[in-house]
Amino acid sequence: MKGIVFTEFLELVEEKFGLEMVDDIITASELESGGAYTAVGTYKFSEMVQLLTHLSERTQLSVDDLLYTYALHFFKVIQRSYPGLLNTYSDPLELIASIENHIHVEVRKIYPDAQLPVFKIVKRSENTLILDYLSSRAMYSFGLGLMHESFNYFNKNFKIDFEKIKEDGTYVRFFIVNTDENSKSG
């Protein structure tokens, strides 16, 4: 997992819960990195799992809720760091449908060792998208938050439901609808 995911996560933890919490969850974890992350480094996903688990225990918030909130923050990072990539699109459904074949392809050019999920389009119509998420990291709540922010970015109304196809969250189906008044149904 890329260092930027760790550095931004710990920044958000500091902002929401304070520096003591950051120290606390790092100390409670067994981290090969020692908890010293640089944005350009690459670290084991198991370190993120430990940090999330310890934060979840201390805040009584579920790991999924924490990942969702983190995604809202991470979208701002994406906006700041890769505005050109977002502005290739004018429509959130088009953007979300293009993660697999364009956006994450570009991400992999920047970070060849990035660990990215697989998105498979199941069904696409003008205002709807059924999208399967597959990843051993089970970060579908992170994906959900990024999808919500994609709609907010374009000021579009939406409804997103999901269904776990595998209970552990490694395979999740998203049902995404653009409910904007100006949109035609279908």
Query: How many angstroms separate the CA atoms of 3 and 9, rounded?
Result: 10
Q: Does 5 bind ligand HEM (CB under 6 A)?
A: yes
Q: Which stretch binds ligand HEM (CB under 6 A): 10-18, 54-62, 97-105, 162-170?
A: 97-105
Q: Is there binding between residue 99 and ligand HEM (CB under 6 A)?
A: yes
Interacting positions 53-92 with ligand HEM (CB under 6 A): 78, 82, 85-86
Q: Return d(Cα 78, Cα 134) in angstroms, integer.
A: 21
| CB neighbour list of residue 19: distance below 8 Å, 6 or more residues apart | none
Can you give 19-80 as a three-state secondary structure string?
HHHHHHHHHHCCCCCCCCCCCCCECCHHHHHHHHHHHHHHHCCCHHHHHHHHHHHHHHHHHH
To the nearest 10 degrees (0 to 180), the angle between helices 140-153 and 63-81 is 40
Considering only the stretches 24-32, 54-62, 96-104, 178-186, report the one whose residues sit in contact with ligand HEM under the rule CB under 6 A: 96-104
| From 16-24, 58-66, 101-109, 163-171, span contacting ligand HEM (CB under 6 A) | 101-109
Size of the site for ligand HEM (CB under 6 A): 25
- Is residue 176 close enough to count as binding ligand HEM by CB under 6 A? no
Asked if residue 48 lies in contact with residue 142, where contact means CB atoms within 8 angstroms, the answer is no
Contact between 143 and ligand HEM by CB under 6 A: the answer reads yes
Which of residues 27 and 46 has its CB atom nearest to ligand HEM in the complex?
Answer: 46
The reply to whether 114 sits near ligand HEM by the rule CB under 6 A is yes
22 is a contact residue toward ligand HEM (CB under 6 A): no
Least spacing, CB of residue 64 vs ligand HEM, in Å: 12
Would you give the end-to-end CA distance of the chain in angstroms? Answer: 38
Q: Which residues bind ligand HEM (CB under 6 A)?
A: 1-2, 5, 78, 82, 85-86, 96, 99, 103-104, 107, 111, 114-117, 135, 137, 139, 142-143, 146-147, 150
